[in-house]
Structure 1
Amino acid sequence: MLGEKELIKLFPNFKELVQPSGIDLPLDKVYVQKGVGSLIDNEKKLPEIEELEGPIFTLKPHTAYLASIDRKIKIPKGYSMLYLPRSTLLRSFVSVQTAVGDPGFFGTLMFMIYNHGDFEFKIKKGDRIAQGVVFEVEGSGEYNGSYQEEEK
């Protein structure tokens, strides 16, 4: 796991969000599911989604949402990122479910947020919802999947 100095070098666009053992990831947009998706024979058909109006979002009880982070990220080759929820969300019965950030990934991070509680939960654009923890990966290739965005 990398510390603050190395994280600032690798992720200069996130300098103000670096913590002792990771990078805070602020909420940008929230989406609800509006259609059917599938993954039959490894062929991805993502469901249609609809963006909710913000900047304050009300998460209904027992409901899943997609959330994007407020800036694109570039994970350097030779590093991987695991995303963990902020503890305040967990203490509020809200989970953030994530996938692994592969070496070489560039793009917008999308996480699932689920309100497990029996009451609504409010969250605002810019609130830190997850923390990215970075690890060195020896002998790795680079991500070349369908969610890769082009760097400009």
Structure 2
Amino acid sequence: MSILTGREAQGLVESMIEPQTQTQMCGMELTVQRIERFASFGAVAFENSERRLPETEVMDFDQSGWIELPAGAYLVTFNEIVSIPADVAAMARARSTLLRCGASLQTALWDPGYRGRSQSLLVVHNPSGLRLKRNARLMQLVFMRLEKKAEELYEGRYQGENI
């Protein structure tokens, strides 16, 4: 397994606001399109038939493009559409500035074959909250070339999400 450079990964990310800025040495930065607060409980079980996603409410940015988030958990949808080929997987890390502001980003694995406008969990730990501007660069997606193509490609519930 080897990590793709940002330039190698550029073709895997669409709808970038400013590709030159978002292309990093070891990956691509994703930016905030939408933030939602959780409005009900979710449920996770062994069988996906018992899975239940919580209801959410979209939060509005103010006229100048800012939003103030009190401490808590939020669902973030990114602007960019990610397309993972059969011989690649991806993982993400929060930008260090986000961590220094007292917030973290929880992410999952991007499987070979996935295509969509991804979502992640933003957790504001800072008791004073977090101000976030629309299109802020929150995380870096790191692409890893697999030793061989995946035998099966992602076909789960989130395929094609938010496109």
TM-score (ref. length: structure 2): 0.85
C-alpha distance in 1 between matches for 2:14 and 2:57: 31
Q: Does 1:85 align with 2:87?
A: no
Q: Look up the match of 1:6.
A: 8
Q: Does 1:23 align with 2:28?
A: yes
C-alpha distance in 1 between matches for 2:79 and 2:11: 20
C-alpha distance in 1 between matches for 2:55 and 2:15: 30
Which blocks of at least 5 consecutive residues in structure 2 are unaligned?
none
C-alpha distance in 2 between matches for 1:28 and 1:130: 13
| Aligned match for 1:56, one of 66, 75, 86 | 66
Secondary structure, aligned partner of 1:39: coil
Q: Does 1:129 align with 2:138?
A: yes
Q: Look up the match of 2:42.
A: 37
Which blocks of at least 5 consecutive residues in structure 1 are unaligned?
none
Alignment deviations for residues 15-74 of structure 1 (CA, whole Å, 9 cap, x no partner): 43211111010111000011121113432210000100013221112x000001012211
C-alpha distance in 2 between matches for 1:50 and 1:98: 20
Q: Report the CA distance between 1:5 and its aligned residue.
A: 2.9
Q: Look up the match of 1:114.
A: 123
Alignment deviations for residues 123-144 of structure 1 (CA, whole Å, 9 cap, x no partner): 0111000000000122412111
Q: Does 1:72 align with 2:77?
A: no
Give 4+ residue runs of structure 1 displaced > 6 Å after superposition: none
C-alpha distance in 2 between matches for 1:11 and 1:113: 21
Q: Report the CA distance between 1:114 and its aligned residue.
A: 0.6
Q: What percentage of aligned pairs have identical amino acids?
A: 28
Alignment deviations for residues 103-134 of structure 1 (CA, whole Å, 9 cap, x no partner): 11011110100111111210011100000000
Secondary structure, aligned partner of 2:40: coil
Secondary structure, aligned partner of 2:51: strand
Verify the 8 A CA contact 2:15 2:81 in the aligned structure 1.
Answer: no
Q: Look up the match of 2:158.
A: 147
Aligned residues: CA RMSD: 1.7
Verify the 8 A CA contact 2:32 2:137 in the aligned structure 1.
Answer: yes
